[in-house]
Amino acid sequence: MEILSPAGNPEGLVASVLGGCDAVYLSGKSFGARAFAGNFTDQQLEGAINYAHDHGVKVHVTVNTLIKDSEMDDAVSFVKFLSDIGADAVLIQDLGLLKSIHTVDIKKHASTQMGIHSAQGLEWCSKNGISRAVLNRELTFEELSEIVPDSPVETEVFVQGALCYCISGGCLFSSLVGGRSGNRGMCAQPCRKKYRTEKNEASYLMSCADIYGVEWLKKLESIGVTSAKIEGRMRSQAYAYLASKVYSSANKGLDPEEYANDVELLKTVFNRGYGDGYLAGVQSPVQSRYADNRGQYLGKATFRQRKFDTAELNEKVGIRDGLSLYQGDEKIGGFKLTSVGKTASPFSLPDGVYDVYRTYDPRIDTIKNLVGEPPKFTGSTERVPTHVPTKTVERPRIDLPEMSFYVSSVRNLTAVLPHADRIYYEMSDSLPEAQEICDNAGVEIVTLAPRLAPLERIEPNGRPLMINTPGQYSPKEGDRVYAGQFMNVFNSYHRSPFYQVTLSPELSNEEIRNLALHYPGRLEVMVFGRQELMCTRDPAMVSGTLIDEKSFRFPVYKDRRGLSHILNSSDLMLLPYLKELGRYGIESVGIDVRKRPENIARKVAEVYSANDVRSKSDLQQMCGGLNYGAYLRGTE
């Protein structure tokens, strides 16, 4: 099994290679999902690939952000450049980019952001020119053992490093609340902030511990996983080296005692808590006490007049070890040990019990010296400008788009039905009743597929179906399949067999207009509702309200599959722009009234179907706060 290590910059590349990895993944200066890593210029990329190949290491390059229409030429040119300089594979998320590079001679890997999480998804990859899928981090080993052995493509599984709280590719929290898109590589990490519920004090309710999956390597190999992936392009060269060393040692079957010191150092250089993630089952991955890197937890120590005994600690310490002291959230200070046993802090502090973490070990300096300064990576290949042709299409000018309502109960269905052109209804026990009501009323009802369904085979069963990831279903002739907003359609280059596509809610009005000028199919734009910011598999997240440090309130509901949906604190309100969307040729608008009181659902339906802009203030009074999403400002 391949050990795939991070290379966020030249130092990280050298460190991972010297650590013994089989392959690295890295990024150019644009289109990578870690925009704030050092990354590589074009010339550095060529030199880095040559360096890695000289050491028998493959190079996978990430081009895994969503691509705007205005960026597609540059993105395709970049992928062609990667092929020219010998990159072994390119990781992608964007479906429009996938289509645009189908003739480029380079292996294509589906980024975890694409949301491949089932046997159907792996089949879809095989049919669409993808040779490897980086599977969702939310999958359990039991689920992996069901879908990996018969996969028609290679599979890659995260075994080390940070774990997103939200289902891969579906997080809009940073984007819609903070204006920085995780899907564009600029996540502001809202999951690492404090939240409280109505009953509990504030803590880091969405901050996941890192995955530590060394003990899972052989099990993953036994079911046919191709590659074990280490997260950490934003981390130090010592981390890259140690993670590569630990996992390559375990992969070779060495006795754990032989790399025990490396494990200890790995947990010192970066540590916000470690766990199995979801590999051991659907259990909470959250470590809610703190969200920052505190190093290796050593235990508690009692200080009296600055003095304490290192023998109290759970782990051995040595001279020159760096220690940090905490009481709850507050860092009291840090210092290097000058002796062990009975010793003292060099600064004054109140008597009491403190949590002690090791943040530095002098052996780390040995690693830094071993890695040394990276060679100067250079190259001479020039990127060739590329134009990806696209045609302007004649879209109909529509007076008012069709009204499509997302509902989750029969009560709300009957409230909006007189005003609906279409209903999206979640798979649930009440779906047959909802279908009968809509059939009798002559209104189309579309079954809304679940966000995550690893072991379910999604089939339309003769009914219209909306899917959320590209692999949930491959449309067959005669089927009417809709692409939902979490398909992340971001540009006009996506060509699909879908009857209708809902555009990403991260697009601005100008980006929607430009996309519509070149996309020949039916389009929908979300115009009302508490937009879903996150969907998580964490069983500890319960229905209710999350309250952030600015007192914004985010509703949460748990669905019948155990997934929790975290919604925005206010409603998207694009009522004033329905006519504008019609002029763009947008055939349908999405109105989400799931989990809302019946009176609000009815009022929203009445106001939108009549395009009664004057009633906007009435809706605001009923719903609370309103927002324009990314429509007027876009996202970075």
Mean pLDDT along residues 491-513: 94
The CA-atom distances, in angstroms, between 239 and each of 14, 157, 161, 259, 300 are 12, 19, 10, 14, 25
Last residue of a domain, one of 361, 388, 414: 361
pLDDT of amino acid 494 = 87
Same domain? 357 vs 478? no
Could you tell me if residue 183 is inside a domain? Answer: no
In a domain, 422, yes or no: yes
pLDDT band at 37 (very low <50, low <70, confident <90, very high): confident
Residue 558 lies in a domain: no
> CB burial class (10 A; 0-12, 13-18, 19+) of residue 398?
middle
Q: What is the CA radius of gyration of the chain?
A: 26
Residues 88 and 13 in one domain: yes
- Do 172 and 256 meet the contact criterion of CB atoms below 8 Å apart? no
Ramachandran class of 539: left when φ > 0, alpha when ψ lies in -120 to 50, beta otherwise = alpha
Backbone φ and ψ of 219, nearest 5°:
-65, -40
Q: Band of the pLDDT at 33, cuts 50, 70, 90?
A: low
Residue 28: strand, helix, or coil: strand
Query: Are both 419 and 348 inside the same structural domain?
Result: no
Question: Is residue 117 located within the same domain as residue 78?
Answer: yes
Report pLDDT for 375: 95
End residue of a domain, out of 246, 275, 304: 275
**Using one digit for the tens of pLDDT, what is the confidence trace for 73-104?**
999 999 999 999 999 999 999 999 999 999 99
Residue-level pLDDT at 247: 98
Q: What is the model's pLDDT at position 36?
A: 72
Q: Which two tokens stand for residue 63?
A: 């081009």
- H helix runs in 30-158, sequence order: 42-54, 72-84, 95-100, 119-127, 141-147
Query: Could you tell me the CATH number of the domain that includes residue 161?
Result: 3.20.20.110
How many residues comprise the chain?
636
Residue 497: the pLDDT is: 86
Q: How many domains does the chain have?
A: 3
CATH of the domain at 480: 3.20.20.70
**Averaged pLDDT of the chain:** 95
Q: How far is CA 329 from CA 202, 315, 322, in A?
A: 11, 22, 19
Which domain covers residue 268, as residue numbers? 2-172+210-275
Q: Quick check: 624 pLDDT over 80?
A: yes
Q: Is residue 391 part of a domain?
A: no
Which of 322, 398, 390, 388 is closest to 358 using CA atoms?
A: 322
- Per-residue pLDDT, 605: 98
Whether 307 has a pLDDT exceeding 70, the answer reads yes
Helices (H), 461-597: 509-516, 578-584
Query: What whole-number distance in Å separates Cα of residue 116 and Cα of residue 407?
Result: 26
* End-to-end Cα, the chain, rounded Å: 37
| pLDDT band, very low/low/confident/very high, at 633 (cuts 50, 70, 90) | confident
User: Is residue 394 included in any domain, yes or no?
Assistant: no
- Report how many helices (DSSP H) and strands (DSSP E) the chain contains, helices first: 17, 31
- Cα separation values, 430 from 56, 435, 437, Å: 57, 9, 11
Task: Give the type of residue at 590.
Answer: G
